[in-house]
A and B are shown apart, each in its own frame.
Chain A
């Protein structure tokens, strides 16, 4: 038994953290929140140079040939640092092409996605919270019409991977005629969302898309869980640091047992989530029978607990935590995205209960 990380995995995490922190600096996230996206683009180039965008893409197509666990470990760091950009939709698109595409599609797209030279976005959500393969209704053979919502970083995408009726995927070139992209006023400005409308746009079906889709969804659930855990870990650390510095009644507020116990409860919510997301990703890599259940449970549990902790993080700061100028709201809004994207906590708990066959 070795349910722990290798030195290589830990050094990838360190390298990603250094790149994100180095690129964003002190005020990078605030610049992004105020509309200047230059550092987001710079970060994408840096992550591409590091090779992590292709972490799970096979080596023959220019990736590192690693697994979902490695992608999830990277996601944890991105959540920890609130790293902005298209990573989530991009790596899920690459998985869809790798698992569902034919040789030609894989050879055409995977090398460009591995380097980050082309950005892909995944278009899943339809109206009424329909995120899952059995709920998709858009259809077409070689032309596609219809609307998808909450597509992350669609404005930067060269390629859309679109969920189709029957639970498969198709590819649409973002520059093709008949593709309209509209920004939504997203809650999380580190991962802006768009409505993408297709009007007779040229479509290329992924032949094994229907087999790939459940795996891609499960991978997405595990990656969001990992991002959520990273964010929660950051909130616990930040709230603890603040408590050590902030003084009231002539001493650091960390001395007050009421706050100490709140901070301990936050840590108690977050820390046990680490193994839960590890297992969800590991079970996916092993194609374990319990992988679907683990992914649903991890997403529901972790995004639920870590959103609460993101709120507690603000509360532990008092008034300063409620300001736009301070960082705390950026983490909470990231946690709100994690809670809702790919379906909310209630949906995935219901799925987990069904998958447990109670």
Chain B
């Protein structure tokens, strides 16, 4: 057993650090937005040249096409995050889209869409959920009909993050109305800037508007914007980038939040003393740390096994739910530390403000809902982790 990355990878980490030192500054005084965008683009280009970003994307489509090495991938991610350097574009589901395009897209689609997506020149949004197709996504009803050499699309999508700034949407539509529900779906790339599309932002409970409803009223897409075969969209949409899949991304985030929470407990006073000295607070934070540590070493194990091509075991099915539960407990501990500040609206509080935690109390719910709710995660664990019979409700 060895928990270190080893001397060869440590040397690689030094190399990445040196590269970032030389080529990236997190802050430049008085920098305009366009100037910053230019600087970010330049860094991404250099990083692709050096083989640091888009390692799983072929050179022909603008990637750096490196042999899979999950440890190197992880080191690069950690080092870029450490100095807040622009990493791979993940906005609007770009990571997922890239995996799908590379596996199922035709040559023309790959040449047209992959490279601009890598640099954020094309902004995407994901068109999956509908008002009546949430957990039961395959019952979606937005339909597309081939009329001449165009798809004509009618219906509605919902919870579409960033729709108002997206250039294109990757869309699941019903194209074979007579087929069984999973076999009647196709995967379509649709231009968002057209008269047949209406976008209505949804105001979230935080007051912010990040996701939208998208209405399709005879919206159009060229016939060749179908990815994969007609009627195979369900399978196509389940594709993810397998190159260097192992990652500790979610773990680093929770660890950072945990350190923030300990800081909040130190800075909060109770009866004139730091709350962290209260034995009840210490017990509760130590109990939470047990979960964080369990997640850390389970993630190490999963990472280690995936990186060496072994089957990582059932923790990989549990990671999202475990993380959601941790986020909920962190929010609850923070709630108890906030006292009267819990009465105040946090707005979009960020940074080091105490009210950031009231904001976190609200947003920690996102993890338990988005991308497969906690009860859906329990279904997955029961079926695939414990080998219980398949749910009687058709999944």
Seen from chain A, the residues whose Cβ lies within 8 Å of a Cβ on chain B are 1-5, 69, 236, 240, 243-244, 252, 254-255, 257, 260-261, 263-265, 267-268, 271-276, 278-279, 282, 294, 297-298, 300-301, 304-305, 346, 349-350, 352-353, 356, 358
Contacts and interface: CB of A to CB of B under 8 A. Distances in A.
B310 interface: yes
Sorted nearest first, the 3 A-B pairs with minimum C-beta distance are A301-B290, A275-B297, A349-B286
B369 interface: no
A298 B287 CA distance: 10
A3 B375 contact: no
A1 B4 contact: yes
A272 B388 CA distance: 20
Interface string B257-300: 00000100110000000001001001101110111011111111
B283 A349 contact: yes
A271 B304 CA distance: 16
A276 B286 CA distance: 14
Contacts of A3: 1-3, 297, 300-301, 303-304
Interface in B342-395: 375, 377-379, 381-382, 385-389, 391-392
A275 B308 contact: no
A3 B379 CA distance: 28
Contacts of B168: none
Given A252-B389, A301-B291, A346 B297 contact: no
Most buried by A among B5, B71, B298, B387: B298
B303 A278 contact: no
A347 to B, nearest CB: 10
B3 A1 contact: yes
14 contacts: A1-B4, A2-B1, A69-B1, A257-B391, A264-B377, A272-B322, A274-B301, A275-B300, A275-B301, A276-B293, A304-B287, A350-B279, A358-B266, A358-B282
Interface residues of B, number: 56
Contacts of B378: 260-261, 264-265
A4 B293 contact: no
Interface stretch (B48-56, B204-212, B313-321): B313-321
A267 B388 contact: no
Contact of B1 (A252, A282, A298, A300): A282
Nearest to B307: A1
Contacts of B307: 1
B1 A5 contact: yes
Interface string B124-167: 00000000000000000000000000000000000000000000
B290 A346 contact: no
Contacts of B389: 244, 252, 254-255
B178 interface: no
Nearest to B284: A349
Contacts of B282: 349-350, 353, 358
B294 A276 contact: yes
A276 to B, nearest CB: 4
B11 interface: no
Given A1-B3, A275-B296, 8 more contacts: A260-B379, A263-B388, A264-B377, A265-B378, A267-B318, A274-B315, A301-B293, A358-B266
B290 A300 contact: yes
Contacts of A305: 290
A2 B308 contact: yes
B37 interface: no
Interface of B: 1-6, 9, 71, 262, 265-266, 276, 279, 282-283, 285-287, 289-291, 293-301, 303-305, 307-308, 310, 313-315, 318, 321-322, 325, 375, 377-379, 381-382, 385-389, 391-392
Contacts of A1: 2-6, 9, 71, 300, 303-304, 307
Nearest to A275: B297
Given A271-B298, A350-B286, A264 B385 contact: yes
A272 B1 CA distance: 18
Given A3-B304, A254-B389, A272 B318 contact: yes
Contact of B315 (A236, A254, A272): A272
B348 to A, nearest CB: 30
B137 to A, nearest CB: 19
A358 B277 CA distance: 8
A233 B236 CA distance: 36
A3 B290 CA distance: 19
B1 A349 contact: no
Given A260-B378, A278-B1, A301-B290, A268 B318 contact: yes
Contacts of B276: 358
A313 to B, nearest CB: 13
Given A243-B388, A261-B375, A271 B382 contact: no
Nearest to A300: B290
B202 to A, nearest CB: 29
Given A254-B388, A274-B298, A346 B283 contact: yes
Contacts of B382: 260-261, 263-264
A272 B313 CA distance: 11
B315 A271 contact: yes
A244 B3 contact: no
Contacts of B295: 272
Nearest to B276: A358
Contacts of B294: 272-273, 275-276, 301
Nearest to A278: B297
Contact of A244 (B303, B322, B388): B388
Contact of A271 (B9, B310, B318, B379): B318
A265 B387 CA distance: 14
B246 to A, nearest CB: 10
Nearest to B70: A1
A346 B282 CA distance: 10
A358 B298 contact: no
A166 to B, nearest CB: 28
A263 B386 contact: yes
Given A353-B285, A358-B266, A236 B386 contact: yes
B311 to A, nearest CB: 11
Nearest to B265: A358
Contact of B290 (A244, A254, A304): A304
A346 B286 CA distance: 10
A273 B298 CA distance: 8
Nearest to A349: B286
Nearest to B393: A257
Contact of A279 (B3, B377, B381): B3
Given A279-B3, A282-B1, A301-B287, A271 B297 contact: no
A301 B322 CA distance: 14
B1, B71, B295, B325, most chain A CB atoms within 10 A: B1
